[in-house]
Structure 1
Amino acid sequence: MSALDIQNIRKTYGDVETLKGIDISLESGEFLVLLGSSGCGKSTLLNIIAGLAEPTGGDILIGGRSVLGVHPKDRDIAMVFQSYALYPNLTVHRNIGFGLEMRKVPADVRDKAVRDTAKLLQIEPLLERKPSQLSGGQRQRVAIGRALVRKPEVFLFDEPLSNLDAKLRMETRTELKRLHQMLKTTVVYVTHDQIEAMTLATRIAVMRDGRIEQLGTPEEVYNQPATLYVAGFVGAPPMNMLNVTVKGEQLAIDNSEMVLPLPARFRGIATDGRRLILGVRPEAMRLGEGGGLTLKARVDVAELTGPELVVTALVGNQGIMANLPPRSAVATDAELTLVFDEQAMHLFDPENGRALA
């Protein structure tokens, strides 16, 4: 039995359809990340799972039971909000145990559960403090503890790290990963941050305009993007996109004299004369001659980030980026020879945005 089934969920506000038929099934222990830009519908879907909003159509099943019309407190879920939502007048101990207190759990059982959770989150010394005496990271751990202590069927996280600074966000992300590996809980996590999605998820649902563009493991979404949108959204820097035209068994790069051999896996699909978009990730590029497909490019800008040199260059009049070793000898306006493996090439149909299989 699946821990969570989202079946053809639709949501309409007046004439605006926010969710357009979402189908996802989560097994127990999975960590699903809903990834997308603002306005794609990911938070609306999370609110529907939580019972904070009702769908226009479809069904939500938790542990095999439909929860439509069921009050949020009776859905066996726990939610961690972006804003922490702690009670300022209560201690950390009472904040964590507040849900158990409302359920009339005996004080001794409640105290043990709170202390066990605090130990797990490494916030035992903070139990007698008030939220105003805590840092942002500590407050977020208290909010997570309040969810953990109840041991629900499904945990829901609504951009819980977005209020933290970069260093603290990375530390808390690692902590969440460790907790999930330890507890094997079922999680639905909303974010617009692709790094959070790639590092935390067992599966990612990339959302756009109320639909799922692609649902798969982080490796599948990154290495086998199903659409142009996914290819451009997941990855930093994003995947390079070059307009090309099929000429027999070659790909001619538009507005340049460059041609590349058409990989055998695309022959028969990429027919002669067809216009396509070639995708290759910046980190797949390397300097050199031979050993792969070759592009000649003229350097526009080179930016040293520390661990790598990010080079922006032109192939004809089309821009590409390459992540190179930091000591690479690259001069502005110089010509580079960039090489990448045939397997790193992706081809997309510019009309429907779908990847060629």
Structure 2
Amino acid sequence: MSALEIVNIRKTYGDVETLKGIDIALESGEFLVLLGSSGCGKSTLLNIIAGLAEATSGDVLIGGRSVLGVHPKDRDIAMVFQSYALYPNLTVHRNIGFGLEMRKVPAAERDRAVRDAAKLLQIESLLGRKPGQLSGGQRQRVAIGRALVRKPQIFLFDEPLSNLDAKLRMEMRTELKRLHQMLKTTVVYVTHDQIEAMTLATRIAVMRDGRIEQLGTPSEIYDRPATLYVATFVGAPAMNLLNATARGSEVRIDGSDTVLPLSDELETQPEDGQKLIVGIRPEALRLGASGLAIAAKCEVAELTGPELVVSALAGMQRITACLPPRTVLENGQPLTLSFDREAIHLFDAESGLRL
């Protein structure tokens, strides 16, 4: 039995269809990330699961039981929002235990649950403080603690780290990963940050315009993107996309002399003259002529610390490469960027689908 099952969920506002038939089955203990840009429908879907919005059609099952029409408090879920939504006049202890207090849980049991959650989140010393005396990271821990004490079947997170600075986001990602590994609770997590998705998820649903473009493990999403949208959305820097044309058993990069072989393992072989997009991740490129190669000319080289990010021109098309940090390059310098055959991703230019 799936912990969470989303069956053909659709949501319309007047003539606008926000969700266009979403199907997901989530097993107990999975960490699902709904990943996509603003307006793709990910938060709407989360709100439907939570009971904060109603689906136009379809069904949501938690533990095999349909929860459509069931009040949010009776769905056995706990939600952590982007805003911490803490009561400023209450201590951390009371904020964490407030939901239990409303359910008339005995004081001793409530105190024990709060202290257990605080110990897990390493905020025991903060229980007597009020939210105004806490940092952003500490407030987010309190909000997570309030969800933890409920011991729900499913945790729902709506962009919980977006208000934190880069260092705190990294620390909280590690904390959430640790908590999930310890508790093995089912999680649905909404974000537009592909790094959060890749580091936290056991599965990622990449959403676009109310549909799921691809559902898979982080490695599946990264190594075999199903569409051009997924290919460009996941990965930093983004995958290089080069216009090309199929010529017999080869692919010619438009505007250059570069010719690449077609793999026999493609699910769909392109027709002669078909317009294609060749995708190559920047980190798959290296300097030198070993393997397949593309001639280019260096435009800009940026040292990020662990790598040198080089923007170059291959014919009339721009290409980015991630090279070792000690690489020395000059603007205008000719380059030979090589890569392995396995690094090539081919997409149909018209449909955007992977071949």
Cα offset, 1:183, TM superposition:
0.4
Cα deviation, residue 267, structure 1 = 9.0
Instruction: Report 1:1-357 matches (<5 A).
Output: 1-266=1-266, 269-290=269-290, 292-356=291-355
Superposition deviation, residue 328 in structure 1 = 1.2
CA distance 1:125–1:106, change in 2 (3 Å): same
Q: What is the letter of the counterpart of residue 313 of structure 2? A: L
| SS of residue matched to 1:85 | coil
Query: Does the 8 Å CA contact 2:258/2:293 hold for their aligned counterparts?
Result: no
- TM-fit CA distance, 1:100: 0.7
Q: 1:199 to 1:268 in 2, by over 3 A?
A: closer
Shift of 1:271: 2.4
Report if the CA contact (8 A) 1:249-1:267 is conserved. Answer: no
> Which residue identity is paired with 2:88?
P
Pairwise CA distance, 1:264: 2.8
The separation in 1 between residues aligned to 2:251 and 2:343, in whole angstroms, is 15
Structure 2: where are the runs of 5+ without partners? none
SS of 1:167's partner is helix
Equivalent-residue separation in structure 2 for 1:208 and 1:98 (angstroms): 37
Structure 1 Cα separation of the partners of residues 46 and 266 of structure 2: 39
Offset at 1:27?
0.4
Structure 1 segments, 4+ long, off by >4 Å, are: none
- Shift, 1:69, TM fit: 0.5
Which digits, 9 at most, give the CA deviation of each residue in 1:24-60, with x for residues without a partner? 0000000000000000000000000000000000000
- Per the TM alignment, residue 263 of structure 1 is displaced from its structure 2 partner at its CA by 2.5
Which letter does structure 2 place at the counterpart of 1:320?
I
- Return the letter of the residue paired with 1:229: Y
**In the aligned structure 1, how far is the partner of 2:96 from the partner of 2:267?**
59
Distance 2:262 2:310 in 1: 25
SS at match of 2:118: helix
Alpha carbons 2:258, 2:295 under 8 Å: kept: yes
Question: Aligned-pair distance for 1:259?
Answer: 1.5
Cα distance in 2 for partners of 1:30, 1:265 equals 32
**Rounded Cα–Cα distance in structure 2 between residues aligned with 1:266 and 1:103:** 57
Instruction: Summarize deviations over 1:109-139 as a string: whole Å, max 9, x none.
Output: 1100100000000000000111111110000
| Secondary structure in 2 matching 1:266 | coil
Unpaired runs of 5+ residues, structure 1, are: none
CA shift, 1:268, in A, is: 6.7
* Contact 1:82–1:162 under 8 Å retained in 2: yes
Specify whether residues 234 and 267 from structure 1 end up closer, same or farther in structure 2 by C-alpha distance, changes over 3 A only: closer
Q: Which amino acid aligns with 1:64?
A: G
TM-score normalised per structure 1: 0.98
C-alpha distance in structure 1 between counterparts of 2:128 and 2:78, whole Å = 23
Q: Which amino acid aligns with 1:209?
A: D
Question: Helix, strand or coil: the match of 1:355?
Answer: coil
Task: Return the letter of the residue paired with 2:174.
Answer: T
TM-score w.r.t. structure 2 length?
0.99
Write the letter of the residue equivalent to 1:342. Answer: R
Amino acid at match of 2:309: V
Q: Answer whether contact 2:29 2:187 (CA < 8 A) is retained.
A: yes
Identity of aligned residues (%): 78
- In structure 1, how many angstroms separate the alpha carbons of the residues matched to 2:270 and 2:6? 36
